[in-house]
Structure 1
Amino acid sequence: MRSFFTFLIAFFFTTGAFAQSGYRLGAKVDNFTLKDAQHQAVELSSFKDTPLVVVVFTSVSCPYSKLYENRLQSLSKAYSGKGAKFVYVNTNIGLEEGSQTDKAQPDRPSTQNFPYLIDEGQQLSKQFGATKAPEVFVLQNSNDGFYLRYKGAIDDNPQAENYVKERYLAGALDALLAGRSVANSERRATGCLIKRF
């Protein structure tokens, strides 16, 4: 019996240690600055005329991120004319102990039509509370800054695009662009775990 209580205490402490931090839904997002693959600084405030900004935490080392590349490109093309801007943030997922931050590959995806930023020291993924790659955060522009309206998964099937039944990110964008709130504003992302270091 005593060992059972010891287990419960350890379980609650472990669960608390891994509780997600970062922005809650509806929270105002602080301005941030990251460098792109060409070492140019990009600020969130530079999108002040954009109704929606989709921040995609990803990693060039993550197989799940590679599975979503084409889908995200298609979404970016479909929604760019409607008022949504996609921003990739390449964060280190910590595959190996002491590994350094992934560097953006020059042949991909810096050739794409959206910013690809490097999250040195996992600063921005910690700020947002991102835990997986890929994981998306939809920010809505208001008069006084950006507010978090959706976070989590892109859709319900990372392995096979043809078998996707629910398109969470597209649904969130459609709702916000139509002036509605997002019905399910948080969906658990499936992907590579972002290990903190």
Structure 2
Amino acid sequence: MNTDATVFVVDDDQAMRTSLQWLIESTGLTVQTYESADVFLARYTPGRPGCLLLDVRMPGMSGLELQAHLARAGYRLPVILITGHGDVAMAVKAMKAGAVDFIEKPFHDEDLLRSIARALDDDKQKRAKHAMRAEIAARLAELTPREHEVMAMVTDGRSNKDIAAALGVSAKTVEAHRARVMEKMRAESLAELVRMALAVASEDHPAGR
């Protein structure tokens, strides 16, 4: 479990907030609690690693409304919903909207802690991928327009001869451009260069958007 992360608990029931804080802190995690969605939004610093534990039904902005608000704002914080029996359909809707899990009341402590561990692991992996894509984008920015063209054709599987014909240059010139692309992108192989291109493409066109 990622002990550098924070579990943000949003619930209008003070007794529930206190109980959840004691339980989660017993595993060594940092916990911050909020009595409403509005208070959370006023105090949360975007970009902090962790996950969000939300009650579905709250006065004012509901858990689902907060989840939707965070999605529109582009926050990547994983969401776990705590639901009553009558809220299961709402929780399923939230899962389809991107929540990582929902826990029904009354719940077993172990089930909740496992769900939090999964959410934190998901957050850590997504942050690592985002950092990797940002690094690749920075390397791409160092390429000249012609090097971008060559990289696109190389990662599309085209030969030096085909690229040379398409660009109206010699195969030797293509080889030189290709070598500079590999150097600037810090790619050890063509396969690695293709993986970099695919990683950036998946960031530009994520599934489901």
Using structure 2 for the length normalisation, give the TM-score. 0.28
Larger RCO (CA under 8 A, 6+ residues apart): 1
**The structure with more radius of gyration:** 2
**Structure (1 or 2) with the greater strand fraction:** 1
